[in-house]
Amino acid sequence: MYSKEEAREIKRNFWIAFANKYPNKWILYNTKIKDFSLKFYVDNKKAEVSIDIECKEDELRKIYYEKIESLKTILQEEYLPETIFERNHHLENGKIISRIWVAKTGISINNPKTWNETFVFLAQNMQLFETFFIEYEDYIQDLELNT
C-alpha cells in the first residue's frame, strides 16, 4: 500500500510520462458546451476514456445525452464499438451525470509495466472520441435541433 504522498507522486509521474509520449492538445474541457467534457481516468484497476455530461439542469443533461444516444449506431460502428452508454451514472460524491465511455481492465497506474499499454489505450480512444465529437459538434451543440 502506498502513502498518499507516494500515490500522488506515482499519479503525477504517470501523467507526465503520458504527456511526454502523447503531447497532443486534447479537447477535454474545451468543448464549448458548459458541463460537457471528454475525460481520461486511470486507477489501480482500470483506465477509462469518456464523454461526461454534468449539466446541473437535468433537462439539459437529458437533451445532450439523447443527442449522443441518437448517434449511438454511428459511434459504435464507425468509431468505438465497445462504447457504454449510461444515462444516470452515479459518481462517488452522489452526483448524477450522464456518461458515454470505454474502459480497459487489467492495468494499474501503480504498475509502470502496464503504463505503455494504458497510454496507447488512452490516446487511441480519446482520439476517436474527439474525432466523433468534432464531426457531430454542430448537431450536439444546437439545442434547437432536438432528437
Residue 124 lies in a domain: yes
Output the pLDDT for position 145: 65
Residue 4 lies in a domain: no
Please count the structural domains in the chain: 1
Residue 9 lies in a domain: no
The DSSP bridge partners found for residue 99 are 52, 86
Residue 3 lies in a domain: no
pLDDT single digits (tens) 13-61? 999 999 999 999 999 999 999 999 999 999 999 999 999 999 999 999 9
Residue 98: pLDDT over 90: yes
pLDDT, average across residues 132-136: 97
Containing structural domain, residue 127:
31-141
Is the pTM higher than 0.95? The answer reads no
User: Could you identify the residue written with the cell 448537431?
Assistant: 139
Output the pLDDT for position 100: 98
Residue 101 lies in a domain: yes
Describe the chain by its helix, strand, coil percentages, rounded to 5: 45, 20, 30
Residue 7 lies in a domain: no
Residue 16 lies in a domain: no
Length of the chain: 147
**What percentage of the chain exceeds 70 in pLDDT?**
98
